[in-house]
Structure 1
Amino acid sequence: MSDDKCVDFRGDEIEVTWDGRLCIHVAECGKAKGDLFVAGREPWCKPDAATKAEVREVVERCPSGALTYRDRSGEPEAAPAENRLVVASDGPYYLTGDLEIEGAPDDMPGVRTRAALCRCGASRNKPFCDGSHEAAGFRDTGAVGEQGRGFRTAGGPLAVRPIKDGPVQAEGKLTILAGTGRVAWQGDNVFLCRCGASKNKPFCDGSHSAAGFKSDD
């Protein structure tokens, strides 16, 4: 399949769409048990090979939003009750929640609840990750040294705004998990490094200016 197009897989009760613009080949789908996704098979995805509930569950594992579904009953994918960001070791930010990503095309429905955001500075699809961190040799374990101000209750929309030639601002209640899985930071407004140069990752420290970072988004 070409990595620059969308492919629909139709079933009797549910339809699955794969968006090559967002896929970074984490393989949560391919490693799922059962015959829903089988590498090398045509078609690769057979929605009727699993129950509707199983299709929804496996598709929602996709961390980049490249996989989405349309339930024939009209029931949409529900946003998680809590906005969370995982600082992946040597990889992107994995973001889940009620997401409002500024500039995201309307034809990318998956990024309303799940997104992989570039933090190495090398992606050609900013603000989204395209896997360039591997070729760029990006290294950061995902350790988080700050705790944030916290909040009493989680949930609500999270506005994600890529700042031109600068960081990503996330405004709304957000929990950040370190690369180890530890709940590390909670707050309602944060500026996240996406140039790869900050000495206080995952937080922006202004290093993008000296690094000459250009965001092109």
Structure 2
Amino acid sequence: MSDEQTCVDFPGEEIDVRWDSRLCIHVGECGKAKGDLFVGGREPWCLPDAVTKAEVREVVERCPSGALTYRDKSGEPESPPTENRLMIASDGPYYLTGDIQIENAPDDMPGVRTRAAICRCGASKNKPFCDGSHEGAGFRDGGAVGDRGRGLQSTGGPVVVRSIKDGPVQVEGKLTIQAGSGRVAWQGENVFLCRCGASKNKPFCDGSHAAAGFKSD
């Protein structure tokens, strides 16, 4: 599929916005933002010049999947947060923010370098990314976390996301995991997370992917 078919650009005087349909899971952070940057039913849907450049950056960076990105014409890129954090959405994906390096991610998905929604139900057709399939699959998990991890002496730095074939997703680097309740629950530097939806020890992998016949392709 070509870039023109999957991405839509919205040019502005000082800053451009791009929407990538491959990553959008319709959380609605953009449409519910106050102001006239994004207005449903309007053509074009996004008008970067309707608000300040600072507002464009702030609203676009709310997008948890990386489907929305911007190109600031001053050359200032989006900066990753100082802490790598993975939030477990109740009945939904892992929302990861930080200095992200997703192995084998396409080069034309710049949004996932700081923000990504990672599938944890096993049903996505766009693995490792969430595509909203958890709703139709009836996936249920509130995002409770039992283990505390080894802890961290510092935060930040790159975090590498590696999809193990027919198995879990490995996250290597300094990471804080936030439970579905909002609680900071786990901290460490290497973790294997369930992405088949079958683990009895969610969010952690317990090997259930083998018995479940999970296929990552």
Q: Shared topology, TM-score over 0.5?
A: yes
In structure 1, how many angstroms separate the alpha carbons of the residues matched to 2:181 and 2:145? 10
Counterpart position of 2:168: 167
Q: Which amino acid in the other structure matches residue 88 of structure 2?
A: V
Partner residue, 1:23? 24
Q: What are the within-5 Å matches in structure 2 for residues 178-193 of structure 1?
A: 178-193=179-194
Name 2:125's counterpart in structure 1.
124
Deviations 1:132-180 (A, max 9, x none): 0000000000000010000111000001000000000000000000001
Corresponding position of 1:209: 210
User: Could you tell me the TM-score, scaled by structure 1's length?
Assistant: 0.98
Aligned equivalent of 2:12: 11
Number of the residue aligned with 1:111: 112
Identity %: 82
1:22-43 deviations in Å (ceiling 9; x for gaps): 0000000000000000000000
User: Per the alignment, in what secondary structure is the counterpart of residue 58 of structure 2?
Assistant: helix
| Distance across 2 between alignment mates of 1:194 and 1:103 | 17
Q: Distance in 2 between matches of 1:184 and 1:151?
A: 12
1:34 matched to 2:35? The reply is yes
Q: Distance in 1 between matches of 2:152 and 2:21?
A: 36
Alpha-carbon distance between aligned partners in 1 of 2:93 and 2:138, rounded to the nearest angstrom: 13
Match for residue 136 of structure 1?
137
Secondary structure, counterpart of 2:87 in structure 1: strand
Looking at structure 2, the residues matched to 35 and 87 of structure 1 have their Cα atoms a distance apart, in angstroms, of: 30
Question: What secondary structure does 1:15 align onto?
Answer: strand
Deviations 1:183-213 (A, max 9, x none): 0000000000000000000000000000000
Q: Give the Cα–Cα distance (whole angstroms) in 2 for the partners of residues 58 and 211 of structure 1.
A: 39
Question: In structure 2, the residue corresponding to 1:152 is in which secondary structure?
Answer: coil
Paired residue for 1:61? 62
Q: CA deviation at 1:89?
A: 0.1
Letter in 1 for 2:76: E
Partner of 2:153: 152
The number of residue pairs the alignment matches comes to 214
**Which string of whole-angstrom CA distances, capped at 9 and with x for unpartnered residues, describes residues 48-72 of structure 1?**
0010000000000000000000000
Amino acid at match of 1:214: K
Question: Structure 1: which 4+ aligned runs deviate by more than 6 Å?
Answer: none
Residue in 1 aligned with 2:75?
A: 74
Tell me by how many angstroms 1:118 deviates.
0.2
Output the CA distance in 2 between the equivalents of 1:192 and 1:127. Answer: 12
| Unmatched tracts of structure 1, length 5 or more | none
TM-score scaled by structure 2? Answer: 0.98
Matched position secondary structure for 1:126: coil
The aligned amino acid for 1:160 is V
**For residues 150 and 10 of structure 1, what CA distance do their matches in structure 2 show?**
44
- Find the residue that maps to 1:54 and give its secondary structure: helix
Who is 1:95 aligned against?
A: 96
C-alpha deviation, 1:93, in angstroms? 0.1
- In structure 2, the residue matched to 1:195 is 196
